[in-house]
Amino acid sequence: MEATFESLTTTEAAVAAGVSVSQINRVFDEDILPHHLYSQTASRLVRSDACLLIAFYFETAEVLTKPARLHAMKDALNACTTWSQWERCVVEDSGVSVRFYEYWKSVSERLNRLHKARSLVIEDPEILSGTPVIRGTRIPIYDVAALVEQGTPIAELLEIYPRLDEATIELASVYAKAVPEKGRPKRRDLPKGTLVAVSKGRLQEA
């Protein structure tokens, strides 16, 4: 990320910033950030470093006024131009000191997970007619993510997909949030022969 900042879709930016897609859209609709940090020509795209400022803007909403947050971001952008500078970025105004390290750290971690999630997936016409699958398997990534979204316990998921580990299952969920499946949600069928333990409590919840 040091040489050039990548462009992220609104869903990718939401994952990286740790906010909702609607909050990302507010950045565009309310002109929260300088225009060079995002674009909306063919589609809405957000520069990866902007995710740090987006996280700061929404996470500090209860402790700083909007003008104070906008002023802090403006000062920070004047002082910090590279990703490594954001790690040490501190701005002060009217006795208020704002450190961006925690936002830099959390966004860095989420961007790293996003990159890993992307590299986890392949689309090959020879594998399930191009359905996105987890690399090295024939397991559709959206099937795994759907089970995570439904609240399936990790232990159960590992039994259903013994070739996967907990980290891969987590990344499948990250990928599905960052790259939502196109079209209507499809019915998800478990692999043939799968035995799923259903407790009385889970039946009652349903």
| Interval 193-201 mean pLDDT | 49
Question: For residue 205, what pLDDT is reported?
Answer: 44
Q: Report the number of distinct structural domains present in the chain.
A: 2
80 near 89, Cβ under 8 Å? Answer: yes
Do 185 and 131 reside in the same domain of the chain?
yes
Pull the structure tokens for residue 49. 């470093």
pTM of the model: 0.84
3-class DSSP state of 44: strand
Q: Which range of residues forms the domain containing residue 49? A: 7-107
At 202, is the pLDDT very low, low, confident or very high (cuts 50, 70, 90)?
Answer: very low
- The beta-strand segments (E) located in the chain are 7-9, 38-40, 44-47, 90-93, 96-99, 121-122, 133-134
53 near 73, Cβ under 8 Å? Answer: yes
CA 194, CA 121: separation in Å to the nearest integer?
23
CA 32, CA 67: separation in Å to the nearest integer?
10
Do 95 and 134 reside in the same domain of the chain?
no
Pull the structure tokens for residue 170. 């987590």
Do 17 and 74 reside in the same domain of the chain?
yes
pLDDT digits (tens, 9 = 90+) for 13-30: 999 999 999 999 999 999
| CATH code: domain of residue 175 | 1.10.10.10
Side chain identity at 89, as an amino acid letter? C
Among 66, 81, 107, which residue terminates a domain?
107
pLDDT digits (tens, 9 = 90+) for 22-64: 999 999 999 999 999 999 988 999 999 999 999 999 999 999 9
pLDDT digits (tens, 9 = 90+) for 137-147: 999 999 999 99
Do 82 and 159 reside in the same domain of the chain?
no
